[in-house]
Amino acid sequence: PTADVNDVNQTWWMQAINQLGGNLFINNSYSGSCVSTGGSSAGTNDTRLSKLKVGNEQPDVIIIYMGSNDCASAYVSLDSFQSAYKIMITKIKKLCPNSEIIVCTLPTTVFYSKQNQTDYNRVITECAAENNLKTIYLDEIDISNYLVDSAHPLKSGMTLIADKVVEYLLK
């Protein structure tokens, strides 16, 4: 629970899934994790990535909304993020070849600078284009006034994100 988000159905992903009549296969979110760097890195941790599958089953759709912690970090360079993001996409495509992979750009927020947001979103959209992936443009929304702290959305912020995800998925 964070602030007024105290039920999974209030998270952006469950709001979107519920609006679309889908089912959650797996949530591989880790609070505070980055695409790049070590530990629970989505780009380099094969154990973490392997949790996208359950036995021989894999999700129909994988939505990747990552990069905020990288973008806000003084310890992650844009080049490091770009390299790790490409590795992450390559590994997910290999692990789940029949899954549709959709990436999300980073929304506007006070968590990182506008310039960093622009730079990191460029990496995300270029990687999507190189891999023929759909992109959900969360940079079309500003969640700055819908945060419990500098980074984590209130329920109202979760709803802004969910509505944008649903809008793009219904296109």
Could you tell me if 81 and 74 are in contact, meaning their C-beta atoms sit under 8 angstroms apart? no
Measured CA to CA, the distance from residue 153 to residue 107 in angstroms comes to: 11
Mean pLDDT of 140-146: 97
pLDDT per residue as tens digits for the range 4-43? 999 999 999 999 999 999 999 999 887 778 899 866 687 7
Query: What share of the chain has pLDDT > 90, as a percent?
Result: 81
Q: Which of 39-48, 67-76, 84-93 has the lowest mean pLDDT?
A: 39-48
User: What pTM was estimated for this model as a whole?
Assistant: 0.94
Query: What share of the chain has pLDDT > 70, as a percent?
Result: 97
Give the number of other Cβ atoms within 10 Å of residue 75's Cβ.
Answer: 9
Measured CA to CA, the distance from residue 146 to residue 113 in angstroms comes to: 17
CA distances from 89 to 29, 138, 152, 155 (A): 16, 19, 24, 29
Mean pLDDT of 45-54: 90
Could you tell me if 137 and 168 are in contact, meaning their C-beta atoms sit under 8 angstroms apart? yes
Q: What SS3 state is found at 62?
A: strand
The per-residue pLDDT for 30 is 77
